Amino acid sequence: MTGRRVAAVDCGTNSIRLLIADVGDDGLLTDVVRRTEVVRLGQGIDRTGVIAPDAMERTLARSREYAAQCRERGVRDVRFVATSASRDARNADEFVAGVREAFGDLDVAPEVVAGDVEARLSFTGATGDLRRLGIPGPYLVVDLGGGSTELVRGTDAVEAGRSIDIGCVRLTERHLAGDPPTDDEVVAARADVAAALDTAEEVVDLAGLSAVVGLAGSITTVTAHLLALDRYDPEAVHLAELPLAEHRTACRGLLGMARADRGALPYMHPGRVDVIGAGALVWHEVLGRVALRSPGARVVTSEHDILDGIALSVAAR
């Protein structure tokens, strides 16, 4: 039996995603539509400080598609959350106005959320399945996006979180121009990540963790690589539990590949080919810290993330 049908849109630096779901009387979500498109809203934003016109149009075109699907599926309750790229852009108001126009009669007010809000939504969306499976906390949820990465610690609720301006698009544009990246580029990128993780650890304690939960396209792609899938299969990736050391080995392999070789992998989304090396590097460095602070912590990949957290927040209104 279902209670309400709700929709959530997560618009990040690299991709835009839609979830239309029915909320059961038990508070659980049943997917009706789940979509992901790579639009690269944040292209060049680290350098220019503005959303590029072509990136803006790509993203608004998908927003119009998503609005049409919401109408077709009878959804009236929609929440649209925009994250790192929109936080950083001087012309974010223009983007917000375009989204409002795209959704029209659905009266959607896009929210450019702060990193701590993003962190809470990611934690809520990611940890429900773990608790139902009996995987104990405390958890470290790592939401590795295009422009930022959120590290959130908690068990039943968020205890501490920090958003750092390190993501697969931002790091690629800053450092990893080579194909494959040069040793000097990798050293510079690792130093950037290390400095950001130092600031995260001022707030988020990485000691005593039971499980690390990895979210978003970079980490799900690393997991698909580690599983040697013959196509991208979200059911195989969701809740996959694999050794931390093997994750780090897979990360090094993807970072060292030429882009043509990455593109030939059967599970690789074309929109991730140029940035997966940077995403893998960030995940590698996060797991390196975890291995030192919480040896023996389990590593679980989740397909449920901020998008699910947004949908649950709509249901709770």
Q: In this predicted structure, what is the pLDDT of residue 116?
A: 77
Domain borders along the chain are: 2-113, 126-301
Q: In this predicted structure, what is the pLDDT of residue 133?
A: 86
User: How many whole angstroms separate alpha carbon 128 and alpha carbon 111?
Assistant: 24
> Domain 2-113 is classified in which CATH homologous superfamily?
ATPase, nucleotide binding domain (3.30.420.40)
Domain 126-301 has CATH 3.30.420.150: yes
In a 13 Å sphere around the CA of 138, the CA atoms on its Cβ side amount to 18
Three-class secondary structure assignment of 193-225: HHHHHHHHHCCCCCCCCCEEEEECHHHHHHHHH
pLDDT (tens digit per residue) in 127-172: 988 888 889 999 999 999 888 899 999 998 899 999 899 999 999 9
Q: What global pTM score does this model have?
A: 0.83
Which segments of the chain have a pLDDT < 70? 1-3, 84-86
Asked if the domains 2-113 and 126-301 are classified in one and the same CATH topology, the answer is: yes
Q: In this predicted structure, what is the pLDDT of residue 93?
A: 87
Strand, helix or coil for residue 10: strand
pLDDT (tens digit per residue) in 81-132: 987 666 778 888 898 899 999 999 898 988 888 777 877 888 988 998 888 8
